[in-house]
């Protein structure tokens, strides 16, 4: 037998649970996220995350230009690991294109390729790999196999005849690849949450009515909201750079001004993403949920953990909408490859476009709510 006190306690628990279920059913956004978040994410990530890397952008400098060198390049393309993007005239051009992020792999065939191939005592082909990106080096090294050397007609099928040279990370240290991009990951996590609750918090505290009565315009309010957090983001950036240098011995390039300029643009873009989320949410709980909903795709689809070239085209298109994708490209180029920020206009323009579009959308949604 259940005592009357326990029965009354169970009844009260049931009443509270029923109230919570009814409240959840009325909260359409939260109820939709209960089903939508796991469904959308399992479809996106199950389809997109792929360690079987294909179609890595590659350039070639074929100074031999013989039937044998062309056959070797055709064999490399036949593996489908690399996708020949362009022919260049010199090894210097090849390294410059890799430094700017336009290419991940470079193939250099020297003028005396046929002689080297027959002698078998010198490197006949050199493959340059961008060591700032994860897993690409090991994948490319797999196609430079003795079997490929044998098919190319080399005297002694040996890996020495096809040399794989890892640029920017010759020691193949994981920290060199991960720590610089952690700037973007950490900023993405903190900045979005900081501003995701900004408008909701003003509404819940009763400050929104005061802001309505002021002459402050919607765009001015949005811009003013993010200015203090830009400074916070720069402080976090400095901490990560300092710890990366002192504790993990990450060789950040000396051009830190470009890195801070890229960080400023990325911080502003992620803050505007948080403000846009804040205009959609009704409660701080919803704002936090929506903020976390954007974080996992940003981390998994940006190229931070998994090779970007291994993703399907549709997943790459989704990743182009995420600010972290473009900042990862910028920070690897500036911090590890030593490329000037002006040599990477594409990610810069995409980040700037995201910032402007998010600002306009947030201002329009905020004005609509005021009306």
Q: What is the block-wise mean pLDDT of the chain (371 residues), using blocks of 10 residues?
A: 75 73 66 65 66 84 92 88 91 91 92 86 88 84 64 48 87 86 91 83 68 69 81 92 89 84 95 88 80 84 80 84 94 90 93 92 68 46
Rounded Cα–Cα distance for residues 335 and 367 (Å)? 40
Rounded Cα–Cα distance for residues 272 and 195 (Å)? 8
Q: Where are the beta strands (DSSP E) in the chain?
A: 56-62, 82-87, 105-109, 125-130, 162-167
Total-model pTM = 0.80
Contact predicate 59/101, CB 8 Å = no
* Percent of the chain's residues with pLDDT above 90: 29
Two structure tokens written together for 19: 């109230």
Give ∠ CA 80-85-88 in degrees, rounded to 5.
Answer: 130
Two structure tokens written together for 314: 């549709």
Q: What is the pLDDT of residue 169?
A: 85
Q: What is the pLDDT of residue 43?
A: 67
Two structure tokens written together for 107: 């193939």
What residues does CATH 3.40.1710.10 cover in the chain?
56-167
Half-sphere exposure of 238 (CA within 13 A, CB side): 7
Backbone angles phi, psi at 296, to 5 degrees: -65, -45
Q: What is the pLDDT of residue 18?
A: 75
| CATH architecture observed for domain 56-167 | 3-Layer(aba) Sandwich (3.40)
Rounded Cα–Cα distance for residues 173 and 160 (Å)? 23
Q: What is the pLDDT of residue 261?
A: 95
Q: What is the pLDDT of residue 296?
A: 81
């Amino acid at each position: 037998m259940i005592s009357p006190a326990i029965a009354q306690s169970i009844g009260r628990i049931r009443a509270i649970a029923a109230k919570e279920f009814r409240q959840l059913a009325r909260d359409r956004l939260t109820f939709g996220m209960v089903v939508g978040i796991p469904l959308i994410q399992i479809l996106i990530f199950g389809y997109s995350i792929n360690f079987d890397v294909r179609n890595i952008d590659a350039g070639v400098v074929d100074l031999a230009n013989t039937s044998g060198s062309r056959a070797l390049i055709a064999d490399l393309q036949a593996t489908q690991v690399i996708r020949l993007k362009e022919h260049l005239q010199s090894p210097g051009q090849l390294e410059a294109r890799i430094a700017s992020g336009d290419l991940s792999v470079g193939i250099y065939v020297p003028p005396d390729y046929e002689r080297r191939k027959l002698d078998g005592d010198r490197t006949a082909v050199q493959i340059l790999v961008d060591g700032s990106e994860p897993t690409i080096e090991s994948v490319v090294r797999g196609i430079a196999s003795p079997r490929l050397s044998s098919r190319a007609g080399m005297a002694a099928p040996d890996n020495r005849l096809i040399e794989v040279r890892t640029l920017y990370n010759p020691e193949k240290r994981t920290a060199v690849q991960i720590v610089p991009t952690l700037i973007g990951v950490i900023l993405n996590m903190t900045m979005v949450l900081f501003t995701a609750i900004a408008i909701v918090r003003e509404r819940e505290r009763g400050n929104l009515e005061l802001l309505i009565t002021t002459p402050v315009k919607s765009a001015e309010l949005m811009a003013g909201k993010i200015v203090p957090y830009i400074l916070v983001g720069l402080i976090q950036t400095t901490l990560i750079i300092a710890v990366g240098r002192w504790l993990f011995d990450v060789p950040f390039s000396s051009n830190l001004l470009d890195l801070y300029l890229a960080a400023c643009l990325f911080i502003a873009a992620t803050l505007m993403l948080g403000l846009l989320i804040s205009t959609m949410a009704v409660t701080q709980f919803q704002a936090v949920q929506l903020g976390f909903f954007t974080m996992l795709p940003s981390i998994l689809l940006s190229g931070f953990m998994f090779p970007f070239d291994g993703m399907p085209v549709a997943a790459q298109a989704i990743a182009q909408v995420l600010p972290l994708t473009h900042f990862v490209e910028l920070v690897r180029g500036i911090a590890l490859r030593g490329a000037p920020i002006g040599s990477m206009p594409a990610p810069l323009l995409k980040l700037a476009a995201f910032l402007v579009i998010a600002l306009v959308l947030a201002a329009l949604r905020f004005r609509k709510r005021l009306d």
